[in-house]
Amino acid sequence: REGVTLVPVVVHVVWNTEDQNISDEQIASQIDVLNRDFRRTNPDADSTPAPFLPLASDARVTFELARTAPDGSATNGIQRRQTSVTSFDSDDAVKAEATGGLDAWPAENYLNLWACPLGGGLLGYAQFPGGPAETDGVVILQSAFGTTGTAAAPFDLGRTATHEIGHWLNLNHIWGDDGTGCSGTDNVDDTPNQAGPNTGKPAFPHVSCNNGPDGDMFMNYMDYVDDAAMFMFSTGQVARMQACLDGPRSSIGT
């Protein structure tokens, strides 16, 4: 696609305890982050190390809470329910009313986001393009959602959703998902081959897999570093996301 794609978003808030019923304001703060990160207008963009600056790119995707529901009625793009489930996991139970969650809206027209309690230290998970419509979208731990309210450091800058929506648009983890080996690939040519995930706030450069002198592109949204340490997509990643919007997700957005 040329230009900027606007993606309608529905947020399904599935809560057990009152505090998990995150506010409209917290939801708005997440949409704001996405609109900065996917246009490279994020305030920390200039923290990108000089050698990687030429590769840092505008993904040309924006997001807005849906204003029209699947039945044509007006909506604020936010659905809520209380559940007896104290904590969900990656089995997709949160994506169906029958299992304590909320049903997806049609995946060909909406990006479905679920905000809920998650167990096992999971911050979020995503479905790649090509999967069943009923489970399409992204699940985010309520305390890693947005930048205000229940958002908790070091995952309180909304970057879990940025990372997971990267997967939803067909991006792989930057280290190639091969443990700490050097044989995996993220299917992107301009990201350096990298051994394993980076965490926390690494110091530049961090060299692995003979990728010196600049080392890993650990400040990429598709690594595992803290929210404050990730601030770019590469040109090759943007091409892959745009190919997804031209291909398996061509029905989404305007």
Residues binding Ca ion (CB under 5 A): 186, 191
Q: Of 94 and 123, which CB lies nearer to ligand ARG in the complex structure? A: 123
- Using CB under 6 A as the binding rule, whether residue 20 contacts ligand ARG is answered as no
Q: How far is the CB of 230 from ligand ARG (least distance, A)?
A: 6
What residues from 218 to 237 belong to the interface with ligand ARG (CB under 6 A)?
224-227, 230
Q: Is 125 in the site for ligand ARG (CB under 6 A)?
A: yes
| Binding to ligand ARG, residues 147-176 (CB under 6 A) | 155, 159-160, 163
Distance of CA 22 to the CA centre of its chain: 18
Q: Least Å distance between CB 212 and Ca ion?
A: 15
Binding partner selected for residue 186 from ligand ARG, Ca ion, none, CB under the kind-specific 5 to 8 Å limit: Ca ion
164 part of the active site: yes
SS3 string, the chain, reads CCCCEEEEEEEEEEECCHHHCCCHHHHHHHHHHHHHHCCCCCCCHHHCCHHHHHHECCCCEEEEECCECCCCCECCCEEEEECCCCCECCCCHHHCHHHCCCCCCCCCCCEEEEEECECCCCCEEECCCCCCHHHCCEEEEHHHCCCCCCCCCCCCCCHHHHHHHHHHCCCCCCCCCCCCCCCCCCCCCCCCCCCCCCCCCCCCCCCCCCCCCCCCCCCECCCCCCHHHCCECEHHHHHHHHHHHHCCCCCCCC
Q: By CB under 6 A, how many residues form the interface with ligand ARG?
A: 13
Partner from Ca ion, ligand ARG, none binding residue 156, C-beta < 5-8 Å depending on class: none
94 is a site residue for ligand ARG (CB under 6 A)? no
**Of the residues 8, 77, 124, 149, which one makes contact with ligand ARG according to CB under 6 A:** 124
**Only segment of 2-10, 27-35, 122-130, 186-194 that touches ligand ARG (CB under 6 A):** 122-130
**Shortest approach of ligand ARG to residue 95 CB, angstroms?**
16
**Residue numbers of the site for ligand ARG (CB under 6 A)?**
122-125, 155, 159-160, 163, 224-227, 230
- Which residues are known to be catalytic? 164
